[in-house]
Amino acid sequence: MRRSMILTASVAIATAALANDTTASSAAGGLVLERTDDIDMVSEDLFVSADEVRVRYVFRNVSASNIDTIVAFPMPGRDLGAEYEGDVAYPSEFATRVGGKPIKAQLERKAMLKGKDYTELLGKLRVPLAPAGIAEATRVMDGVTRAEKQHLISTGLAIEEEYDEGKGMKKHLVPMWTVRERWWWNQRFPAGRAITIAHRYVPGAGASVESPIAFRKLRRTDDGKAMIAKYCVDTAFIRAVDRLSRTGSDEGPRMPDKRVDYVLTTGANWRSPIGSFRLVVDKGRPENLVSFCEEGVKKISPTQFEVRRRDWRPDRDLHVLIIEPQQ
């Protein structure tokens, strides 16, 4: 007997724009199985650092029949409008193994705006759906007919901007759609058996050249307070920042930060709670400072911190702040 369903990985955009020279981060998350009461997440082993995210799941089909499904890992939506306004970092180099063997995934790519799919329209105009840079899409859109330009503007897919090359004012179009990509493959969950699915990637870590947390005045602003709450920054962390910052330096406190976000709440969507959950957060260097919202955190090495849970349904996502005092 074949059962058909969709297994997806949830992703979300997490912005972190509080100071100049800031890169916003993009969060990727765990696999989600929709519309089934037959598959459990037996365990999840998650490693998070600014350089790499690794996660290994064990799933078990508790039914008496094989379950054939599409497994998908959507990438975080690439908002071209946000890229035009500032820097955004996206996860990259996704690699997945099933039962220890690499899988061949197919890529689905769409151009979305306000819930509507414009892939076909942009394809007809030969506009790149996922341009390497904003200038690439602008160059192509500037070459379409006047009527086609007006259509792109009226739909909201592009905005018209004036610029000056020294020879008078000119206009060009700037892309405003969101690129939605997902990698997918066909997967069988054998009846009554467990299988492992593991993936790794480079996270879209946000960063600030000077962390807002290092500035006393910024901590008292609404944005500063929101950042403190998001990463559960406590008084001990603040004291350590103040002690290590170069407050007398002409270059500022010299306390850059990195921020990594991971969607944990997808783990609450399975048939039963996650049987065994293990999280390891690595702050990179022993002298770095790290803060994130978890209970029962145990230090297991000079740079690593561990959290363990049993029969757990996560009710919030993971946000990790790493501050790197400069020598």
Q: Which two tokens stand for residue 238?
A: 């603040």
Percent of the chain with pLDDT over 90: 48
Q: What confidence tens digit (pLDDT) does each residue in 61-90 have? A: 999 999 888 777 777 788 898 888 777 777
Are 322 and 284 in contact by the 8 Å Cβ rule? The answer is yes
For the cut 50, the answer to whether the pLDDT of residue 302 exceeds it is: yes
* pLDDT confidence tier of residue 29, bands split at 50, 70 and 90: low
Ranges of H-type helices in the chain: 80-85, 119-124, 134-141, 146-155, 216-219, 222-230, 235-244
CB neighbourhood size of 107 (10 A) = 9
- Main-chain phi, psi angles of 237, to 5 degrees: -65, -45
Going by DSSP bridges, is the β-strand pair 22-23/158-164 parallel, antiparallel, or unpaired?
A: unpaired
CB neighbourhood size of 316 (10 A) = 9
Are 89 and 82 in contact by the 8 Å Cβ rule? The answer is no
Percent of the chain with pLDDT over 70: 84
Match 């006047």 to its residue by tokens: 146
Q: Is the pLDDT higher at 253 or at 61?
A: 61
Are 198 and 97 in contact by the 8 Å Cβ rule? The answer is yes
Mean pLDDT (the chain) is 84
* pLDDT confidence tier of residue 3, bands split at 50, 70 and 90: very low
As a whole number of angstroms, the distance between CA 124 and CA 100 comes to 41
Q: What is the pLDDT of residue 9?
A: 41
Q: Which two tokens stand for residue 317?
A: 């996502």
CB neighbourhood size of 65 (10 A) = 14
As a whole number of angstroms, the distance between CA 326 and CA 266 comes to 36
Are 45 and 309 in contact by the 8 Å Cβ rule? The answer is no
Which residues make up the CATH 2.60.40.3680 domain(s) of the chain?
A: 6-111+180-323
- Could you confirm whether domain 6-111+180-323 is CATH 2.60.40.3680? yes
Q: What is the mean pLDDT of residues 265-279?
A: 82
Match 């029949």 to its residue by tokens: 65
